[in-house]
Chains A and B, each alone.
Chain A
Amino acid sequence: MSSMTNKDSYGHVRGESLFVDDINVKEGTLHALVFDSPSAHGKIKSIDYSEAEKLDGVERIFTYAAIPGENQIGGIIPDEPLFAEQEVHFMGQPIALIVAKTLAIAKKAKKIIKIEIDESPVVTTAKEAFNKGLFINAPRKFELDVVEKGFQESEYVFEGETFTNGQEHLYLETQASYAFPLEDGNIKIISSTQGPTSVQSIAAKVLNLPMHRIEVEVIRLGGAFGGKEDQATPWAVMTALAVYHLKKGVKLILERHDDMRMTGKRHPYESTFKIGLNKDLKILAYEVDYYQNSGAACDLSPAIAERTLFHATNSYFVKNAKLTVHSCKTNLPPNTAFRGFGGPQGMFVIESAIVKAAKELNIPVRKIQEANLLQENDEFPYGQIAKQVEIGKTWNEVKSQFDISKKEKEIQEFNTKNHSVKKGLSLMPITFGISFTNTPMNHARALVHIYQDGSVGISTGAVEMGQSVNTKMLQIAAMSFGLTPDKVKIETTNTTRIANMSPTAASATADLNGKALLNACDNLKERMSEVIAEKLAVNKLDKISYQDNFIFVNGTKSKLSWEELILTTFLKRISLSEHAHYATPEIHFDKTKEKGHPFAYHVYGTALTTVTVDCIRGTYEFDAVQIVHDFGKSMNKGIDMGQVEGALVQGMGWMTMEEISYDEKGRLLSNSLSGYKVPDIFSVPKEINVIPLETDGNEMAILKSKAVGEPPLMYGIGAYFAIQNAMLAFNPSYKIKFDAPMTPEKVLMGLYENDLK
């Protein structure tokens, strides 16, 4: 592959890249540990910190009483305290921060804190919360045309229920923050966060300080996947609070078990669907109630609910739909952003509805899928008109490139010949909208300094978390200025250089920050054009370009080098720094009408998944996942391919082995890496083949290279249905279910369902 590799890879492979826990801390830095609720719901009767406080080496134990500002970290709805006061609402809810000379001392102190809680009833599932009337906010509803009319006109109507479980982010680097005092009572926080500005603004609110007194810096994240969008904030704010009081550096790195217990996950969804089709298999009506298990506080749940609605119809045109999300309040850690952000949960339901219809009608699933694929100028349920629709092309490419009919025949023959192993396949189309669904968040800024020696330093609001966004930023600047990559440096992400950032999320970060960066580069070039004109005696009609470290005129290399141009510009007292802004044009959304044009564009693709199920043991192996994906014009094929493969496998993990489990008391049972399994090198498909769809790209995407972070995760949904098809080959009377993940347990129980009755 010829594309530029992750610019950090040299440091990564040598162990030289810095994560929060690797930073050389200032002398006297203290270590913090969170004391959290041992119960999922109740009133705190008493807490006795006295023995813990007496322990040698314990500096101080902070509770809500130490907060000078508001004890509030809720981003969308102010319903989440930093530290519990009188009540606790989930097991693992932070109550206090123990600050000690060493982590070992803090751990000893934690063990001798005594707490008494008056237990209240615990709710762990969405339906239970719904029945008890426990909600985060009012239900959110998309209602199109008259859904009842659609059902009346339908030839076939099917109903069903689905469940998708949560998913642990399992970023390899746990939540981490290191804060230390600056002069004049200012505080600097180095956080492993996707949202530096969220950390800054919440810290300011909690400490009752203006935002400019809090500096937040991010070097890089050891994985995030949404888990550090809102939920990196509390730990960062806690360290800032300790610094505020102690005037010493404080470090808080969550232990893995603490991280798993205290932080929210992908939202589990229970859903009930009703789908109506006409004789030609066109979906005429689709009605769903989504019961979102939001956890004990709002966090990002309403925004996630919104994206569930936006992706409820996946890649299909549905004229009449009634879609309602109920954000149900339970006694679990507040569930939060996770790659796909509610989209995967929505897509699983319509795929289930189609599978159910196909089974009832005894026709291939793909016939229904194909009959309803979006066409150019179709209207999405939210009013946006579909443009540059590529879904049909990716679908047809998959069918022809991988010869579906032949494959189906081969599988049929295989299954006839073999009794103890069965194969199954599935097709999974995806259509995913790019932009923050909350329109005001779609903006970014970039700061470019060209130093007098010609080297370039760049700051943007993008946070590097493995997706290689900084490599893309570097490519953009290097390309714009015609420089080799070594002349460009990407700085840390820092709130003093870039203010009011949107979090690095929604797959849109490279687009937003990249376009801001391009604007900055263009503005600088515009200023330097007069220097060039003077130096090279060119006129307005001449075409100036920047290549190979030189200025080119009408495609011909001039004598003017980049360095000479920069020095001359500097001596002429023209600014070599530029801070530029970008806001996505065209997008808008009216929440009162639930109509508008929320997305800059959509990403399309289709995946074909083939699996082999061991019918003796109930285990399975994926033979292949073959994908045709719409990258637009990929600006870095190696990096984008890595995003597709990584997201696919993460999505497959969600659908297969990753099983979150709480007991009825709200205790997380899958609370360690030994109890919660993510894909390892043996569990990934034997073959992953990703073919880029040839397209013109989209102008709204950076360099026409489409966003790639989240969409491919949803290819993983195909894993569920492929396994189920293989199971049906063994046990034709197996009653299909829509209950993810499809663990080896569910497979074996399904294969021998008849024996177990």
Chain B
Amino acid sequence: MIEFILNNKIIKTEVKSGMTLLYFIRENQGLKGTKSGCKEGDCGACTVLSGTLQKDNSVDYKSITSCLTPMANVHGKHIVTVEGVNLKNELNLAQQAIKDNFATQCGFCTPGFVNSLSGLALKHTHPTKADGINALSGNICRCTGYKSIEKAADEVTSKLQEKDHNNELEWLVENKFIPNYFKEIPLKLKALKSDKNNSEGVLVSGGTDLYVRHADALLDQDIQQAINFVSNNIEFSDTKCTIGVGASVTDLMENKQLNSYYPNLKSDLKLLSSEQIRNMASLGGNFVNASPIGDMAIFFLALNAKLMVQNSIAETREIALKDFFLDYKKIDLKDNEFIQSITFNLPDKSTYFNFEKVSKRTHLDIATVNAAISINVQGNIVVNAYISVGGVAAIPRYLSKTASYLMGKELKKEYILEAQEVLQSEISPISDVRGTDQYKRLLARQLFFAHFIKLYPNLFQLKDFVA
């Protein structure tokens, strides 16, 4: 039995837990405002909100793409479709802003945009103008050219500056962002049964990759939720950080401590897919997916991270992430094992980290090449370096030779150029839809240079490295 609240209605359903939320909403519930545009999380027409009850009895709403969300993952949640943010006989504030600014043409993508903006309103923050745009990072519109949508988002954002944080729901209802019933949702969520008894079927975390390929096959199957086995906690000791791999990319982005250690974390992670997908995609999923261009793999390889793996009889073993990827889509994980957490050393004052990603479209795209470095320089000597690059081999590539070349050397242009030559010997890109092998080699070179230009702007400029 899956039990959750859909808009203002408590749902108790026996549908298979592998069915997508999109299918359930449209075909089972007949709510046709949520549109199906691509079924791979790449257009945002099916965006809905998923609300989770917090310890303080508030509800934390996140935008998600319902096409990639298994029903198992909506258990105990408040799911909001466009019908659920409609007011009686008038438009809500986001809707009015879209209408007033001519920000809807054909209308097919519009409910998704409305939901993303409603999600923005329900966040417990005063959003900046950029936050308003970021909320729409996963919504594609083919008609407007977005300028009118930007204006609508700006209107919504500026109104939200007035939000009363002591009385959020009240304020949002009063200011016509959401209907009145939202105020009753926390209590209703609390009353939901929370037992999750699925113990069979494929293990699914965020589903954002699995469901791109297997949504049809899982329609009439039960699945198991990874979150029942792994945590999403982010914990810090004096020198280490340990993250339960159930954590979503958004969990990482919003973690204050992590941001203090990695000041570019937010802008780095904004290059990963869209807000909707970041809200769903888990760390563990990104690792076991083993894509050669997995952004999180590249990120954590350069942090020299280690995975804690657990088996069905609760035995654990530790494995370095760089040893985890064996071959194309092959990982060191047995059938009865799953990843529990990831651990890495926190940077000291002389350690810098940089992440780079280039794709055809800067946002909501798969990398052509991505790259990361963690480098410790003391007195101009490279004491330690961990370097990774994706999209240039069958696996996310950890560049051990390049790193060892640099270690113990002065941080000098000549050595970086030499190291780049070593890097080229460690990669073997192939031509595909994301680019030719020659391009990927060039890009790997450029992103390697970019690390040093970005981390040591006083020491290096582009012209130091290229003719």
Q: Which residues of A contact B (CB under 8 A)?
A: 1, 5-6, 8-19, 21-22, 104, 107, 169-174, 220-223, 225, 255-256, 419-420, 465-468, 615-619, 638-639, 641-642, 645-650, 657, 659, 661, 669-670, 672-675, 677-684, 688, 743-745, 748-749, 752, 754-756
Contacts and interface: CB of A to CB of B under 8 A. Distances in A.
B82 A15 contact: yes
Most chain-B CB neighbours within 10 Å: which of A615, A618, A673? A673
B322 interface: no
B142 interface: yes
B364 interface: yes
A170 B356 CA distance: 29
A173 B450 CA distance: 40
Specify the main secondary structure of chain A where it touches its partner: loop
Nearest to A677: B361
B148 A13 contact: no
A749 B446 contact: no
Given A222-B106, A674-B40, A684-B145, 18 more contacts: A1-B102, A9-B98, A14-B82, A14-B86, A15-B32, A15-B86, A171-B108, A223-B143, A256-B39, A617-B356, A619-B362, A642-B102, A642-B144, A649-B146, A659-B360, A678-B142, A681-B139, A745-B368
A688 B365 CA distance: 24
A752 B466 contact: yes
A255 B35 CA distance: 13
Interface in B160-206: none
Contact of A220 (B42, B81, B106, B449): B106
Contacts of A661: 433
Nearest to A14: B86
Interface string B26-69: 00000111111111101101000000000000000000000000
B147 interface: yes
B106 A670 contact: no
Given A13-B91, A618-B446, A749-B438, A172 B35 contact: yes
Contact of B83 (A15, A419, A467): A15
A107 B140 CA distance: 27
B142 A650 contact: yes
B363 interface: yes
A688 B144 CA distance: 12
Interface string B356-383: 1011111111101000000000000000
Given A420-B462, A619-B362, A13 B145 contact: no
B114 interface: yes
Q: Mostly helix, strand, loop or mixed at chain B's interface? A: loop
A11 B107 contact: yes
B145 A617 contact: no
A240 to B, nearest CB: 23
Contact of A6 (B31, B105, B365, B433): B105
B455 interface: no
B150 interface: yes
A411 to B, nearest CB: 19
Nearest to B366: A674
Given A15-B114, A616-B446, A749-B438, A420 B461 contact: yes
Contact of B145 (A467, A615, A638, A645): A645
Contact of A172 (B98, B109, B364): B109
A688 B216 contact: no
Contacts of A11: 107
A99 B364 CA distance: 36
A479 to B, nearest CB: 19
A642 B148 contact: yes
Given A15-B34, A681-B146, A673 B102 contact: no
16 contacts: A11-B107, A15-B81, A15-B111, A172-B45, A172-B109, A222-B107, A223-B108, A420-B463, A659-B360, A673-B40, A680-B137, A681-B137, A682-B137, A682-B363, A683-B363, A684-B147
Contacts of A12: 98, 104, 107, 110-111
Nearest to B465: A616
Contacts of A107: 216
Contacts of B83: 14-15
A675 to B, nearest CB: 5
Nearest to B438: A756
Contact of B360 (A616, A617, A645, A677): A677
A5 B102 CA distance: 6
A11 B148 CA distance: 18
B145 A650 contact: yes
Given A645-B147, A681-B133, A682-B133, A745 B104 contact: no
Given A14-B86, A646-B143, A616 B462 contact: yes
B108 A19 contact: yes
A173 B110 CA distance: 12
Which of B43, B94, B432, B447 counts the most A-chain CB atoms under 10 A from its CB?
B43
B212 interface: yes
A15 B83 CA distance: 7
Nearest to B447: A617
Q: 4 nearest interchain CB pairs? A: A15-B33, A466-B106, A222-B108, A12-B107
B219 interface: yes
